[in-house]
A and B are shown apart, each in its own frame.
Chain A
Amino acid sequence: MFSHQQIRKPLLATFQQIRSKRTTAISPEVQKLVTQLSVLSAGRKQPRLLKLCNEDYVKHQIITKAWSQLRNQKKKSDEALLNKQLDSMSFACEELKKISPELYNLANKKEYGKRFPLEIRVPTEYPPRNIWYYDYVPPVAKDSKK
C-alpha cells in the first residue's frame, strides 16, 4: 500500500497469466510451426455443441436403431448364406467320394500359389469407355524343340 512498506511475498506464490498480442516479429520457421499447431488444435475452430430438442432426439434414436437393425440383419443373412454354401460344398464332396475316389482326389488337389488373375476387374463407381474386352484369343502353346 505505502511505498516505504516492504512487500512480503506470500508463502504460496501465485503466478498471474496475461495473454496479449504478439508485438515482436517471429522467424518464418516458428510461424510455420505455429500455423501447424493451430490447425491441429480446436481453438476457435470448433462449432457449437449440437443440441437436439426432444422430438429431434427421438427421431435420431429411431434412425440409428433402424440402421443398426438393418446392419445386423445383413450380417446374419450373409453368415447364413456362407454356412449354407459350406454345407453344400461338403455334401457335394461326400457324394463325389462315394461315386469315384479318383475324381475326389483330383477335385481336392492342392492348388499351390493360386491367385486371382491379373485381368479380373475391381468394380468402380462408373464404367470404363470400353466396358468389355471381346477380342480375346487364347494363347497358342509353343511346341517344345526336342
Chain B
Amino acid sequence: MFKKQLFSQARSFATEVAASSSTSTTPITSVNAAIILSRTPIVTPEIPEFEQKYYQYQEELERRLMWTFPRWYYFKKGTVAEREFSKAQIYPIPKHRGVWFPKGVPDIKHGRDRRFKETIILPKKHQEEEATHASQASGAGDAQVSELEDVARPIKLNQRTTEADAKNDQTSLERQLSRTLYLLVKQNNGSWKFPSFQLKDNSTALHEVAEQGLRSIGGVNINTWTVSSTPAGVVKYGAKGEVVGPTSEGSTTEFLLKSHIIAGKFELQKNDNVKEHKWVSRDEIKELVNDEYFEQVGHLLAKV
C-alpha cells in the first residue's frame, strides 16, 4: 500500500508545471533554501541491553543444538595438527559401570557429551608463540610502518569512542560515531536551526542555492552529496520570524534539502548572520532547537 502511494506521488512530482504569467503573488525574496547537512554514522549502531541479551540467549541455544564438530573432516588422522587439536580438547567423563552419576549418565558420541553444548578449545599456534618471543627479544626497535605492513600481525580493534566524545566537542565530526550528526547554526537572535539562504531569483534551483550558501559560510573545502533536488520539507515563518503552522500563510517559506558531508571540514567564514556552528545528533537537536521548529523538522532526521 505504501509503495503504490510512493509511485503515484513520484509521478505527480515528475510532471512539469507550465509557468503561467499570472502566478501567485509571493515574491522570490521571501523564499529560503535550508540545508540539512548530515554526517552518516561511521560505526554500527549501539545495541540496546534487551537486544544484546536476546542475541546472547539465541547464541547459547544454537550452541546447545549444534552438531558435533567433525574433526575427522578438518584434521586428517595421523597428522600433527590433528594430534595438537585433540590434545587441546577436554574429553568428557565417560560412563562407568557401578559409578553413580547424580547429574545423569553421560551420553558420549564422537568425543562429545550429547546432553550439553560442545566447547572447542583452539590450540595455540606456533606463529603466535614465535611472534611473542620475537617481540620480547627485539624490544621497541622497528618503526610503526613495518608493524602495520606486517600481514601476520594480530588484529587490533580501534575504540568506538573518540577524544571528541570525551571532551564533548560539539564542533567535531568525530564525535558520536554510531549516530548521524547534523549541522546546526546559531542565528542572530540566539536560536539554533539548519543553515538557510535566501533565494535571489527563479533561475537557480533550491539545492544549488543551498549548496552554494553552505560553502559561503563554511568554506569551499567541503565534499557533499545532495540526496535530491526535491525539497524534503517546508517551514513557514510569520512576520516576526516565529514558526507558523503549515496551513496558515507565512511571510517567509523555507524549503529544506537533504545532503551528506563525505569529506572535508566546515570552517566558519566571516559572516554577518552565522557566528557559531555545531554537529549534533537528533536527541541533542530536540533539546537545542525551538519546539515548533522541531515539530516541522524532526521527522526528517534519523533516529540512529
Contact = CB atoms under 8 A, between A and B. Distances in A.
B188 interface: no
B26 interface: yes
A99 B28 CA distance: 8
Contacts of A123: 40-45, 178
A105 B174 CA distance: 38
B262 interface: yes
Nearest to B109: A44
B146 interface: no
Contact of A89 (B174, B206, B231, B253): B231
Interface string A111-139: 10000110111011111110111101110
B32 to A, nearest CB: 11
Nearest to B204: A106
A94 to B, nearest CB: 9
Contact of B246 (A50, A82, A91, A98): A91
B109 A45 contact: yes
Given A116-B225, A127-B42, A86 B6 contact: yes
Contacts of B173: 132
Contact of A82 (B2, B24, B159, B162): B2
B17 A105 contact: yes
Contact of B16 (A35, A90, A105, A137): A105
B70 A131 contact: no
Interface in B91-129: 107, 109-110, 112, 114-118
A126 B16 contact: no
B23 A109 contact: no
A99 B255 CA distance: 11
A42 B6 CA distance: 48
Interface string B268-304: 0000000000000000000000000000000110010
Interface string B23-44: 1101010010000000011111
B221 to A, nearest CB: 5
Nearest to B302: A81
Given A36-B73, A38-B70, A100-B31, A132 B174 contact: yes
B137 interface: no
Contact of B54 (A67, A83, A102, A133): A67
A100 B28 contact: yes
Contacts of B207: 107
A99 B253 contact: yes
Interface residues of A, number: 64
A95 B177 CA distance: 36
How many B residues touch the partner, as a band? Answer: 35 or more
Contact of A134 (B5, B73, B229, B265): B265
Tell me what chain B mostly uses at the interface: helix, strand, loop, or mixed: loop
A89 to B, nearest CB: 6
A138 B112 CA distance: 62
B19 A107 contact: no
Contacts of A124: 42-44
A145 B121 CA distance: 69
Interface in B4-23: 5-6, 9, 12-20, 23
A35 B72 contact: yes
Contacts of B303: 81
Interface string B213-233: 000000011110100111111
B202 A100 contact: yes
A97 interface: yes
B66 interface: yes
Closest 8 pairs between A and B when the two form their complex, measured CB to CB? A136-B264, A106-B205, A45-B67, A92-B234, A136-B263, A92-B231, A101-B17, A45-B68
Interface of A: 35-36, 38-39, 42, 44-48, 50, 63, 66-67, 70, 79, 81-86, 88-93, 95-111, 116-117, 119-121, 123-129, 131-134, 136-138
